[in-house]
Each structure stands twice: as structure tokens, then as C-alpha cells.
Chains A and B, each alone.
Chain A
Amino acid sequence: MSDLPIAPLDVEGWTCPAPLAHQDRIVLGHGGGGVLSGELIEHLFLPALGGASNAEMRDSAVLDRPGAGRLAFTTDSYVVSPLFFPGGSIGDLAVNGTINDLAMSGAQPLALSAGFILEEGLETALLGRVAQAMGAAARAAGVPVVTGDTKVVDRGKADQLFINTAGIGVVADGVDIRPARATPGDVVIVSGLVGEHGVAIMSLREGIEFGTTLTSDTAALHTLVAALLAAVPDVHVLRDPTRGGVAGTLCEIAEVAKVGIELEEAAVPVPEAVGAACGFLGLDPLHVANEGKLIAIVPAAHAEAALAALRAHPLGAHAAIIGQVGEEHPGLLVARSPLGAGRVVSRPLGEQLPRIC
């Protein structure tokens, strides 16, 4: 450093690099790792996320080693717009989504990390509300946020705020849940009504109303999974049908496991408002995202027990058997229409495009 030439200070154009404290908007300095970052952690993140204000600050969280089982580890980024929507917020999604990714391996979640990318100029109060929502979701789930990071980017380089969460959990011995275990003869169960989150976001984003207010179904599913595993330890596959919806998820499973999956369209529980919105927009409810539902694939012999266990849990009250795994048409998802004819269902290509008419 001492080798570098020292530029003369331009007094005319000089501004204070450390903006004032207690600002109502996020400034670049909040991500700089200095005093402002410290204030943000101390006064905003720690109270909201539930850490003690005198928490010992260090570079990583150190967790007790679980007594038995294997570790599950996952990460996901959240860029949803708008930040708040009926039924939840980006904060709920960031906690519940990552917990659910752990739960879909049959893991009991242990802890989460939270990384924030903030746009310069973001209202501090808005960030506070998001952090409060994250903290509330984490406390409700019983999974602590144990480490975090904040960066601030120039105005225009991000859309208000992005969140990344990672999660770590422990998979009990004997639990082996993965898409490749879908086996001919298995039964496909969905844990509740499909399409609510995607339609809630879309109707808010596009300013379309459908008579009733649909709310996102965002929820942490690990207790539902625990209840299911208690009743049926040999669950073959669990997936949460988020982006791509039920169809996208089942297509992936069919491809990975090289099995055919047959879906009874009439058996899929679609709320009336979701059906109406999809009809109006030319979308397929099977392709619409969910944030609080799971698909379970279980041996046929355990299907009724699995269904009963799901229905006994508040998050699984509307669980239904929607299809089965077979040997025919490996790699493909085939939906049987209520009239009895079959059709191949594809993964959505990318963005869902509303039709003209």
C-alpha cells in the first residue's frame, strides 16, 4: 500500500464516505462492513431475526454435531416481486422455501443462513418489515437463522432487495428420499390445494382480481414431513412443487427415475379461484407455483396410511391421491382427462405466457 502514489485530496468534490447513522434509507455504507453495517446488524437484523444483541460476532456460526444421521445442505435465492403479497412476503419465502428444500430430503432442519443484497435507497423500514417476517417465520418453524451477510449495490443494480438463504439439516438413519426411488406401483399424493401461490402473485403483479382474494400458501413443511415419516418411514420421494408446479415436478421425477407417471386430472385439488384465474389467463393450474405443498410418492401398500397422516396435520388437510407410477411411457407424465383420454404433460418452458384468447 505504501508503494502507491497518494493522490491529492480533491476538496471541492469530496463527500463523506461514511453517511450519517439512523437513516431511513439504505446507503452503500450499510454493506461496507464498517460502523453502518454493524448498526444495521445490531439494531435491525438481530432484533428481527431473534439473535441476542450481545451475540458474539464472528465469521461463522458453529453448530453442535448431530448425534446420528447424515447432513442435508441446500441453498436458494429469493427475488420475488412484489416483496409483500397476500399471505406472505419474500421473508416468509426465504425461510420456508429453504426449510422445505431440506424437508424434501426427509431432513430435520437445524439452522439457516441469510444473505441480503440490498439496493441503495431501499427504505430501512421496508427492510425491517422483511427481516421481521423472516424472524417470525423462523421462530414459527423452530429453525434459527444463525449467520448472515449484507451487501449494498448501486441504485438500479438490484430490484429493492434479494435474499439468499442456505440451510443445514439432519437426515435420520434409514430415511432415503430422492426422486430416483419412484418405483412402478407407487402412489402419488399431493398434500393440499394447488396453484394458490402462483395465482396470488400473478394477480397482484398484474392487477387482476378474480372475485376472491387468493393468498399464498407459503408454509414450512418439515413438521408435515415428520408426521408423514412417523407413519410411513419408507417414503420414496418428496418434492415441493414450486416453480413449474405439480406438472414440472412430476415430469422431473419421471425423467430422473425413468418411470411413467399417470395423473388423474380430476383428482388434483384445484381451488375454484385458481381454476378461474387460470382459465382466464390461459394457464394450466398444474404449471402454477406452490410454496406450501409437497408431493409424496409412496409404496401403494402405505398410500392410505400416508394420506391419513398428511390429513391429520393442519398443512395437509386437503391431501389427495392424484396418480400412480407405472412402467409404461418411461420419462413422461401423462394426465388422464376427466373424459378418460390421456395426454402428455410437459414441463413449462420458462415464463408462463398468458394466451390472447
Chain B
Amino acid sequence: MKYLDEFKDPVIAKRMIDDILATATQRWTLMEVCGGQTHSIIRNGVDTLLADAVEFIHGPGCPVCVTPLEMIDRSLEIAARPDVIFCSFGDMLRVPGTDKDLFSVKADGGDVRVVYSPLDAVNIASDHPDKQVVFFGVGFETTAPANAMAVVTARQRGLTNFSMLVSHVRVPPAIRTIMDSPVTRVQGFLAAGHVCTVMGTAEYGPLVEDYQVPIVVTGFEPLDLLEGIRQTVALLEAGTPALRNAYPRAVSPQGNPVAQKVLADVFEVCDRQWRGIGMIPASGWQLSPAWREFDASLRFDVDDIHTAEPEACHSGEVLQGLIKPFECPSFGTLCTPRTPLGATMVSAEGACAAYYEFRRLQVPTKVS
């Protein structure tokens, strides 16, 4: 497929891998921020092929993983209501809340539907005027514009039965939190290509300045990843932290101004809890006052939520790059994709699931 296949070429990949291995005079610690990149790195084995040059710490960039437990529990309460059709992207359905997940709510009779686009949820609202249709609006800057457009469309159509449970998160404040951590080992970042497609690169310059850390905007296909890694390693070797764009076919410095305009109108920046990490100031988006009538957390009075994370789950440390998934005592024993304790084991983009799926061979066998 054009624009994809040529970025999978194994011959060029081999050359780039050799180049990176030859350039690196030490083993550098890089964080890929985005869960899609984690998935691609593990799936293609980029980390094992580059093991002598780079250690990857997998960042908190899986929206499923970082959606706060309180928000999951809220979604479960709303989805269980008989007057509600609850719409979500597919991989949210298995994320464990305190007691259950959306699949169990569906099995108990809740009308929970998987949609591929928030506009599908708007159409469901048009088709079911007698029902309240709620869309679970999670994700980074990548999914936010489409979710914003869903609200705009709902207003254009005069729909009063559509609302959105918003739990959007933003990448730059998370990078700041990771670099502020006294125990961080991250020496360079691969910034999430598709986030920057929307937002541009302007937010990342100050991070490079403040923390003297190289940040390279990176894509998702094997050659895209390798080019991002190659540039980051080169900057580290030269001792010249800088912002680079290794994904220019999708990312321009100014991003997508149309999307940014909609985002600025529909959302406002707010503090946000990240599951496993905690509160990160100014790291989220919520509906702005002009659009708050579409806020499901206000429309549905669900206050009585008492959350409790399982103690055996160390996903927070995994998300912060403090431990590798297999260093968690529950990994592969108490916690598997079938019985996930934390969200990082649920989503295909979650670091624990990625390790469980693709890396069981290298993981020391557990004696239970």
C-alpha cells in the first residue's frame, strides 16, 4: 500500500539498524510516548534488534491505559442505565473498573455498542430520540478533533439526547511530569507522530529547552520508527538536544489548524488524573462552558463512586517506565489479557499486553 509498504522495507531497515548500532557509543534510554509506537516496536522486534544501542521505556501514551478508574466506574454506572445507549471504541470494553467492565454491563442487559467513529454515536442518537446516547470520548490529541466534531454535529442537528463522557489527555504535560520525576532515566523522546499531525510541533520546543532532552517526532511503520530512533541517537551522541521531525510526510510544524480551531472552541484545558500516574496539571481537556450541555458527567448524576485499584497491579510503575512489565510480580500469573488487573494488560497498545503477546519467549519463566 502506498505510503505504508515502502516504510516496511526489510533491506533498508537492516541498513538503518546497522547505522544506529554503529553510531551508538553507549546504550541510550529512549521513551516512545505513544502506545501505537510501543505496539509497532514490540511487534516488529525493533527493541531486540537494537538492544545494544537503545533501551526503550514505554511511555504513558495508551489512552485506554491512562483513563482514570473513576472515569471507568462512571462509564459503567451510566452504561447500566436503562434509558442509555452507551457507545465506545472497542478496546475500552474490557478495561477493568473497580468491580466490572463494560462487557459485563452489556451482559447484564446494558445497551453498550462498539462504534468506529464518534459520528456513529451521533447517528445512533438521531435514530433513537427516545434514548440518551452517550459516547465515551477518550484519547489523546489524535482522537479529540473527531470527538469535538461529534458534539458540533449534535448541536447542528439539534440533538438533545446526545452527550459525551470526556476523558481526553494531552501529551506535552505528561512529558513534563516524566522529566520532573527525580527517578526518571529517560534521555530522549520519540514524540507521537499522529498527535503532532493535529497539534504541530510548537509545544515541544520549550520541553527541549527546559529539560535539555532531544525530542524527535516519529511515525509508526518500522522505517519511520528507525528514522526517529536514528535521529534521537545522533542528537544524544552529538550532545545537542534539539527538536526534530522524522515524520514530515504526516507532520507539519503548524499541525492541522482547522482541527486546532475546533478543539479550542469545544474543549478547555483542565487538570486530569492519569490512571497509574496521578494528577497531572493542565494535562486534560474537558468540554468548554459553551458546550457543557453535552457533558455526560453533568447530565447523569453519578456521584457515589468509590474506586479501588487492585494492590497487586503495578501498572503505574510500568506507565512511568520505572519497571518493565515482566518485573511486575503479577505479570503472566495473576494478570494476563484474560484476567487483566490493570488497563496496561487490556489494550493491544498497553505495554503489559504487548509484552505478554509478543515477548513471552524472552521473559523468565515464572514459578508459581
Chain A: residues with CB nearer than 8 A to chain B? 206-208, 266, 272, 275-276, 279, 281-282, 329, 332, 334, 337-346, 349, 351-357
CB closest chain-B residue, reference A279: B4
Q: Is the CB of B116 within 8 A of A281?
A: yes
Which 9 pairs show the lowest CB-CB distances between chains A and B? A341-B45, A353-B90, A343-B358, A354-B90, A356-B89, A338-B10, A353-B91, A344-B360, A337-B44
Q: Is the CB of B45 within 8 A of A355?
A: no
Q: Is B269 interfacial (CB-CB < 8 Å)?
A: no
Choice from B139, B194, B337, B361 contacting A334 with Cβ under 8 Å: B361
Q: Is the CB of A342 within 8 A of B361?
A: yes
Q: Is the CB of B360 within 8 A of A356?
A: no
> B49: which A residues are within 8 A, CB to CB?
339-341
Q: Is B42 interfacial (CB-CB < 8 Å)?
A: yes
Q: Is the CB of A332 within 8 A of B361?
A: yes
Q: Is the CB of B92 within 8 A of A356?
A: yes
CB closest chain-A residue, reference B16: A339
| Sample of 18 further A-B pairs with CB below 8 A, known A332-B361, A353-B114 | A337-B43, A338-B44, A339-B14, A339-B222, A340-B45, A341-B49, A342-B45, A343-B43, A344-B358, A344-B360, A352-B90, A355-B348, A356-B92, A356-B138, A356-B347, A357-B63, A357-B140, A357-B143
Q: Is the CB of B10 within 8 A of A340?
A: yes
A344 to B354, CA, bound (A): 10
Chain B: residues with CB nearer than 8 A to chain A? 1, 4, 8, 10, 13-14, 17, 36, 42-46, 48-49, 63-64, 89-94, 114, 116, 120, 138-140, 142-143, 194, 222, 337-338, 347-349, 356-361
Choice from A275, A339, A346, A349 contacting B44 with Cβ under 8 Å: A339
CB closest chain-A residue, reference B221: A279
DSSP class of A's interface residues: helix, strand, loop or mixed?
loop
Q: Is the CB of A356 within 8 A of B45?
A: no
Task: Give the A-B pair count, Cβ closer than 8 A.
Answer: 95
Q: Is the CB of A338 within 8 A of B8?
A: yes
A133 to B296, CA, bound (A): 47
A45 to B222, CA, bound (A): 54
Q: Is the CB of B89 within 8 A of A355?
A: yes
> A353: which B residues are within 8 A, CB to CB?
90-91, 93-94, 114
CB closest chain-B residue, reference A272: B1
> B120: which A residues are within 8 A, CB to CB?
207
A341 to B93, CA, bound (A): 31
Q: Is the CB of B48 within 8 A of A346?
A: no
A236 to B337, CA, bound (A): 32
Query: Given A206-B116, A208-B116, A357-B143, do A341 and B44 touch, yes or no (CB 8 Å)?
Result: yes
A338 to B139, CA, bound (A): 30
> B89: which A residues are within 8 A, CB to CB?
354-356
Choice from B1, B46, B337, B361 contacting A339 with Cβ under 8 Å: B46
